Amino acid sequence: MQSGQPQIKIDTQGLIKAGTIPVIAAAVAGLLWILGILGAFLSIIFLIISAFAGYWYVNLVLKSGAKPTIVEVALNGAILGAVTALVYTVAAGIGISVWLGGFYLFGGPFHSLLGDIFQGAVAGALGAAGWYAYKSGMIKTS
């Protein structure tokens, strides 16, 4: 990196602290596939959980008094969103396997694992950047 360029920091401690609730929510939502009838609803919930992960990360970071940049919070929100997507996809594979009574993990939701991780990362980044912009005054509501 050239001198004078800002360095982007990956906040591992903040991600671990903020990740507990969204990861548990993603696992529960994925396991709800056991019921089998909630498929489309759970797909929307998956994106909401990923966006929530970004929001939750920013909320905790701002409460700690840190002053990250919007790029840093978007990157860290994307990481947390991707992790929640991974957890959701694995849990959904287990839930679908139980629902169908067979081994569905590698023929089912894992065919879209990279797509789900990408979607989760985008939702997490948008949730983090949006909440950061709102809380820091970048977005005026009145």
Gyration radius from the chain CA atoms? 17
The model's pTM is 0.84
Render pLDDT for 7-18 as a digit per residue (tens, 0 to 9): 778 888 988 999
For position 108, what pLDDT does the model report?
54
Answer yes or no: is pLDDT of 4 > 90: no
Q: How far apart are CA 96 and CA 85, in angstroms?
A: 16
pLDDT-derived band at 81, boundaries 50, 70, 90: very high
CB atoms within 10 A of CB 79: 23
For position 93, what pLDDT does the model report?
80
For 104, phi then psi, to 5°, come to -105, -5
Of 92, 90, 85, which Cα lies nearest the Cα of 117? Answer: 85
Amino acid (1-letter code) at residue 120: G
Render pLDDT for 89-128 as a digit per residue (tens, 0 to 9): 888 888 877 777 766 555 555 567 888 899 999 999 999 9
Least trusted range by pLDDT, from 9-23, 35-49, 77-91, 92-106:
92-106
Helix, strand, or coil (residue 107)? coil
Q: How far apart are CA 18 and CA 10, in angstroms?
A: 13
